[in-house]
């Protein structure tokens, strides 16, 4: 019953978030600030994670394809498709729910418990829209960009690690990542990224905006936000995979 | 002028405000006093609409706030300024940006005019050379003064202060009290201050409402408080021996 109430409040908040902004120019400025804060600041961690995961994936695929009947270039193909289909969209979304999501929850939650949100309301500002809408737009816009960066650096990671440990030659790996490329896989993943970006930003914002109490409660809300976002990402991954294939 | 009529408010079946009625006058410092947990913050937040009242009316110069639709409320809120207990300045903005924020949101002024107004308000609260600092870089007293500057930047008709002196030393508290009073008188606005600071009561209490357990217990001004026979009020205001001595001296005079 309480969960249903939460869902109702979430949609109620979304209605407020998507109502007409007071001053468009300020919202546009906020969107650019959030793109920098939530998106550009995540490029570093996405790059590092993707290089390592690309390398690890190449090794895993190589160890599982140790069969003389299977062509060696399949290592590159396996790495590429894993990155494009699941890692750089879903797994990255789960990681970003921790980084971006907890950032959003703690920022908005802290504003709530220090009465900054009340202060906006008293001024006549729609605090839900002012604080949350730019974050949603920024994350939805930036997540596909992070996805592309992740795929690129994941493939680079494989190219570095595979030949370095002798699992695959650079030529075979490069042949593999170009073999039987299906561009729809990218389209499918980009659609997922848009949905995941929305889920990460809106669910995290909801938990921050509805926090009551003090610093301890903000911490609890951040944890709950990450857990709930992760569950919703996996649920929607399942739904979208069924719908789009 | 703000008038509250027969206000009731409860949370989860617990009555927090019971039949509160009071007129808060223009150009006077109206004080709501009471013990912690007596309901004064709920009353203030109900007056500004952060809590919805269960029953009763809140009239802003005759305009019934409780019956207004969200659009009208939003418009009326642009006539309000509020200073929160902790200042509630936006952490990510500098002092100047905090004060400028309501202007950016709602005024049609040019950049130069906005800057003039920001400088005027900061000057009014005696803040100098701190424009580019962030709230975390200034003292609690300065934060309160910046919050006052932000509250008055749109020339509000109504000013609300929730325990503006909490956490401040007596000297700074006096500065804040005098500042709020002079703004109230100069700008002829209706100011409501929530406080349990007895120095404020004695210094600026033009019109005082004492509430206890969510009920109106006494009303009057700082002079009348000395002669009041209300037992609860006497126990609250003169709990401190020093205040008892001051009261006795004043009565003798």
Structural domain contains residue A4: no
Residues of chain A numbered 177-206 and touching chain B (CB < 8 Å): none
**Is A193 within 8 Å of A143 (Cβ atoms)?**
yes
Highest mean pLDDT among A18-27, A188-197, B38-47, B61-70: A188-197
Question: Is A19 a member of any domain?
Answer: no
Asked if the Cβ–Cβ distance from A115 to B102 is below 8 Å, we say: no
**Is residue B138 located within the same domain as residue B190?**
no
pLDDT band at residue A170, thresholds of 50, 70 and 90?
very high
Is the pLDDT at B253 greater than 70, yes or no?
no
ipTM, two decimals, is 0.86
Nearest chain A Cα to B156, which residue? A123
The answer, for B102 touching chain A at a CB cutoff of 8 Å, is yes
CA dist., res. B116 & res. A226, Å (int): 45
pTM score: 0.89
Angstrom distances, CA of residue B220 to CA of B5, B92, B213: 17, 42, 19
- A29-47 tens-digit pLDDT: 999 999 999 999 999 999 9
What's the token pair of residue A12?
């109620």
Residues of B in contact with A125 (CB under 8 A): 105
Q: Which of B84, B102, B104 sits opposite A115 (nearest CB)?
A: B84
**Do the chains contact at A115 and B80, CB–CB below 8 Å?**
no
Residue A113 pLDDT: 95
Question: Inter-chain contact A123–B77, Cβ cutoff 8 Å?
Answer: yes
Q: Bridge partners of B22?
A: B4
Whether the CB of A26 is below 8 Å from some CB of chain B: the reply is: yes
Residue A76 CA to residue A170 CA, distance in Å, equals 9
CB-CB neighbors (< 8 A) of B74 in chain A: 124, 126
- Given a contact cutoff of 8 angstroms between Cβ atoms, the answer to whether A227 and A200 are in contact is no
- Interatomic CA distance for residues B67 and B57, integer angstroms: 8
- A183-209 and A215-244 are packed helices; what angle lies between their axes, rounded to 10 degrees? 150
Chain A CB within 8 Å of residue B89 CB: yes
Q: Are residues B49 and B165 in the same domain?
A: yes
Q: Is the pLDDT reported for residue B53 higher than 90?
A: yes
Sheet of strand B207-212: strand arrangement = B63-64, B55-60, B2-11, B14-24, B215-220, B207-212, B29-33, B190-195, B158-162, B80-83
pLDDT tens across A132-153, in order? 999 999 999 999 999 999 999 9
Query: Which tens digit of pLDDT belongs to each residue from B2-26?
Result: 999 999 999 988 899 999 999 999 9
Residues B71 and B125 reside in one and the same domain: no
* pLDDT range class, residue A56, cuts 50, 70, 90: very high
Flag whether pLDDT at B71 surpasses 90. Answer: no
Contact in structure between A82 and A57 (CB atoms under 8 Å): yes
Question: Is A123 an interface residue toward B (CB < 8 Å)?
Answer: yes
Whether residue B104 sits in one domain with residue B3: no
**Does B82 sit within 8 Å of A22, measured CB to CB?**
no
Question: Mean pLDDT throughout A110-117?
Answer: 95
Q: How many CB pairs under 8 A join A and B?
A: 54
Q: Is B84 on the interface with A (CB under 8 A)?
A: yes
The verdict on residue B245 lying in a domain is no
CB B47 within 8 A of CB B17: no
Confidence category of residue A160, pLDDT binned at 50, 70, 90:
very high
Please check the confidence at residue B189 and state whether its pLDDT lies above 80: yes
Task: Select from B133, B154, B175 the last residue of a domain.
Answer: B154
Overall average pLDDT of the B115-124 stretch: 92
- By C-alpha distance, the chain A residue nearest B75 is A124
pLDDT for the residue numbered B231: 86
B168 shares its domain with B211: yes
Q: Do B73 and B4 reside in the same domain of the chain? A: yes
Query: Is the minimum CB–CB distance between B91 and chain A shorter than 8 Å?
Result: yes
Query: Residue B244: pLDDT above 80?
Result: no
> Are residues B141 and B179 both part of a single domain?
no
Residue B247 lies in a domain: no
Give residue B7's pLDDT. 93
**Shortest CA gap B102–chain A (Å):** 7
- pLDDT for the residue numbered B47: 94
How many structural domains does chain A have?
1
Q: CB distance A124–B101 less than 8 Å?
A: no
Smallest CA-to-CA distance from B91 within A40, A14, A225, A113 is with A113
pLDDT category at B159 given cuts 50, 70, 90 is very high
Inter-chain CB proximity A124 and B91 less than 8 Å: no
Domain range for B118 is 93-154
CA nearest to B47, candidates B192, B156, B164, B217: B192
Q: How many domains does chain B have?
A: 2
Band (pLDDT 50/70/90 cuts) for residue A225 is very high
Block residue for tokens 């009348």: B224
B73 and B180 together in one domain: yes
B161 plus B218 within the same structural domain: yes
Percent of chain B scored above 70 by pLDDT?
98
- Give me the mean pLDDT over the B233-244 stretch: 78
Interface touch A118/B78, C-beta < 8 Å: no
A27 touches chain B (CB under 8 A): no
Tell me if A162 is assigned to some domain.
yes
Task: Give the residue numbers spanning the domain of A177.
Answer: 24-244
pLDDT at B77 exceeding the cut of 80: yes
Best CA proximity match to B99, nearest among B66, B74, B133? B133
- Dist CA A119 CA B82 (whole Å): 7
Q: Is B109 touching A (CB cutoff 8 A)?
A: no
Residues 182-221 of B with CB under 8 A from A: none
* Mean pLDDT (chain A, rounded): 95
Nearest-by-CA chain B residue for A130: B105
- Answer whether A21 touches B (CB < 8 Å): no
Q: Is A16 on the interface with B (CB under 8 A)?
A: no
Structure tokens at A205: 């914002």
C-alpha–C-alpha distance, residues A143 and A201, integer Å: 11
Phi first, then psi, for residue B230 (nearest 5°) are: -65, 120
| Structure token digits, residue B140 | 């609690």
Nearest to B77 among A110, A116, A122 (CB): A122
Average pLDDT value for residue range A119-134: 94
Chain B positions in Cβ-Cβ contact with residue A123 (cut-off 8 Å)? 77-78, 80, 101-102, 105-106
Rg of chain B over CA atoms, in angstroms?
Answer: 19
Do residues B171 and B64 share a domain?
yes
C-alpha distances in Å from residue A237, one per residue of A118, A196, B130: 36, 9, 50
Residues of A in contact with B106 (CB under 8 A): 22-23, 123-124
Nearest by CB to residue B84, choosing from A23, A26, A118, is A118
Chain B residues closer than 8 Å to A135 by CB:
none
Tell me, what CATH number does B66's domain have? 3.40.50.300
B51 and B103, same domain (yes or no): no
Please tell me the distance from the alpha carbon of residue A51 to that of residue B1, in angstroms, as a whole number.
66
Residue B226, number of CB atoms within 10 A of its CB? 18
Taking alpha carbons only, the member of A83, A74, A84 closest to residue A55 is A83
Residues B69 and B2 in one domain: yes
- B201 vs A152, more confident: A152
């Amino acid at each position: 019953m309480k969960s249903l109430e939460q869902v109702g409040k979430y949609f109620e908040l979304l209605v407020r978030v998507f109502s007409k902004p007071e001053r468009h120019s300020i919202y546009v400025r906020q969107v650019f600030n959030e793109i920098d804060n939530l998106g550009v600041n995540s490029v570093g961690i996405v790059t590092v994670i993707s290089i390592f995961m690309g390398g690890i994936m190449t090794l895993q695929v190589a160890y599982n394809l140790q069969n003389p009947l299977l062509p060696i270039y399949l290592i590159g193909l396996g790495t590429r498709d894993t990155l494009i289909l699941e890692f750089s969209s879903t797994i990255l979304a789960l990681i970003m729910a921790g980084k971006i999501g907890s950032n959003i929850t703690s920022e908005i939650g802290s504003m709530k418990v220090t009465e900054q949100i009340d202060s906006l309301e008293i001024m006549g500002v729609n605090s839900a829209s002012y604080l949350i809408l730019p974050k949603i737009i920024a994350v939805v816009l930036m997540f596909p960009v992070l996805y592309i960066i992740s795929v690129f650096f994941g493939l680079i990671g494989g190219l570095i690690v595979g030949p370095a440990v002798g699992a695959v030659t650079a030529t075979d790996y490069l042949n593999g990542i170009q073999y039987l490329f299906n561009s729809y896989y990218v389209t499918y993943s980009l659609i997922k990224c848009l949905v995941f970006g929305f889920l990460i930003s809106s669910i995290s914002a909801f938990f921050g905006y509805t926090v009551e109490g003090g610093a301890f409660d903000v911490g609890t809300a951040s944890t709950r936000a990450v857990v709930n976002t992760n569950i919703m990402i996996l649920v929607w991954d399942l739904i979208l995979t069924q719908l789009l294939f | 002028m703000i008038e509250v009529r027969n206000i009731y408010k409860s949370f989860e079946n617990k009555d927090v405000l019971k039949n509160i009625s009071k007129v808060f006058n223009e150009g006077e410092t109206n004080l709501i006093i009471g013990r912690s947990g007596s309901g004064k913050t709920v009353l203030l937040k109900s007056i500004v609409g952060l809590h919805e009242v269960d029953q009763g009316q809140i009239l802003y110069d005759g305009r019934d706030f409780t019956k207004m639709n969200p659009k009208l409320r939003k418009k009326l809120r642009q006539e309000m300024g509020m200073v929160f207990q902790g200042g509630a300045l936006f952490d990510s903005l500098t002092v100047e940006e905090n004060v400028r924020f309501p202007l950016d949101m709602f005024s049609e002024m040019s950049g130069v005019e906005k800057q003039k107004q920001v400088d005027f308000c900061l000057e009014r609260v005696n803040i100098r050379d701190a424009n580019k600092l962030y709230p975390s870089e200034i003292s609690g007293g300065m934060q309160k003064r910046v919050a006052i500057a932000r509250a008055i930047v749109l020339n509000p008709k109504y000013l609300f202060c929730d325990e503006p002196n909490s956490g401040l030393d007596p000297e700074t508290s006096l500065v804040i009290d005098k500042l709020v009073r002079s703004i109230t008188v100069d700008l002829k606005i209706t100011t409501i201050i929530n406080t349990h600071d007895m120095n404020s009561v004695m210094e600026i209490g033009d019109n005082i409402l004492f509430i206890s357990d969510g009920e109106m217990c006494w009303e009057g001004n700082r002079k009348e408080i000395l002669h009041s026979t209300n037992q609860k009020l006497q126990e609250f205001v003169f709990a401190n021996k020093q205040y008892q001595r001051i009261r006795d001296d004043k009565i003798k005079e």
